[in-house]
A = this chain, B = another copy of it.
Amino acid sequence: MNSSSKYAIIKFNSETKLIEEDTIIVEYTLNLFLNGNEFISFLCTPDALESMVVGFLFSEGIIHTTKDIADIRVDMSKGEASVKTKNNDQYYIEGDKFFGKRAISTACGNQKTICYPILDFLGRKSDRLEKKIDIYPDKVLQLVNLFNKKSGLFIETGGVHSCALGNQNEILLFREDIGRHNALDKILGEALVNEMLLEDKIIITSGRITEEMVKKVVKAKIPILISRSAPTDKAIDMARRFHLTLIGFARGNRMNVYANNECFI
């Protein structure tokens, strides 16, 4: 399935009016079934779907490595992904939070359940990031420059966010998606499947940085997060708490460092 398609549209400017074919970003729905139950729907760009699912399950704390997955299938024509985890736990959503329901058989044949919120890693001091990478301002700006040059779908359609995994010198993985979170999940999933070391890597994103984006990067133990756009207050607070280096508005020869700036002072 293509990530973009062609539509006839009218292009106006102050002097001309043209009917032209334009390239439009495809919006695709993928329903994820987790251990047999419908769990969540992704509105996404239809590529790297398996990576996206793996990255999402990892970010949400449902799996810790790819070894926790017993089976994963993606049926693109049906818009369905199906994952079985080895522990076969049941998960559900309450409000916007995910809970895990661990099935415990009892003698009478019924099941009792215990529930725990999945994103429970926060607040433990041991989760503070250790920076296993040195980086300098000019390297950050060079990296963002490389990142900007990669964006094919954005140039074609103007309708996507980009995300990349890099080191000081180069972009290693690059993905685009209509959703900021999906693009990051695709990158994390790909890195996980390839068993890449993450503690000396950098995430670069085109999109705004919310607390949720910081959580995903901290969870993956990646020490530096760079964005072309703005962070929110909660994103900065969480980055400072977990010693994540948070850089925003990295454009041309400028950038702002919002958290964990020791390496730049």
Q: Name the residue of chain B whose CB is nearest to the CB of A157.
A: B230
Assembly CA distance A135 to B141 (angstroms): 44
Find the residue from A178, A229, A256 having the highest chain B CB count within 10 A: A256
Q: Name the residue of chain B whose CB is nearest to the CB of A265.
A: B10
A:118-152 near B, CB below 8 Å? 137, 141
Contact with B along A56-97 (1 / 0, CB 8 A): 000000000000000000000000000000000000011111
Find the residue from A7, A38, A157, A261 having the highest chain B CB count within 10 A: A7
The 5 closest A-B pairs by CB, nearest first: A159-B230, A27-B232, A41-B96, A14-B253, A27-B234
Q: List 25 A-B contacts (CB under 8 A).
A: A9-B257, A10-B257, A10-B264, A11-B255, A11-B256, A12-B137, A12-B254, A12-B256, A13-B255, A17-B264, A22-B258, A24-B232, A25-B230, A25-B232, A26-B233, A27-B233, A27-B234, A27-B235, A39-B95, A40-B96, A41-B96, A43-B212, A93-B93, A159-B208, A178-B208
A5-B233, A27-B235, A41-B95 known; 12 new pairs, CB 8 Å cut-off, are A7-B236, A9-B256, A10-B256, A10-B264, A17-B264, A24-B231, A24-B232, A24-B233, A38-B95, A43-B212, A158-B249, A178-B208
Chain B residues within 8 Å of A94, by CB = 38
- Looking at the assembled complex, report how far the CB atom of A191 sits from the nearest CB atom of chain B, in whole angstroms: 26
- Looking at the assembled complex, report how far the CB atom of A241 sits from the nearest CB atom of chain B, in whole angstroms: 14
Q: Name the residue of chain B whose CB is nearest to the CB of A208.
A: B159
Q: Name the residue of chain B whose CB is nearest to the CB of A6.
A: B233
Q: Name the residue of chain B whose CB is nearest to the CB of A235.
A: B27
Chain B residues within 8 Å of A256, by CB = 9-12, 22
Assembly CA distance A254 to B249 (angstroms): 26
A47 at interface, CB cutoff 8 A: no
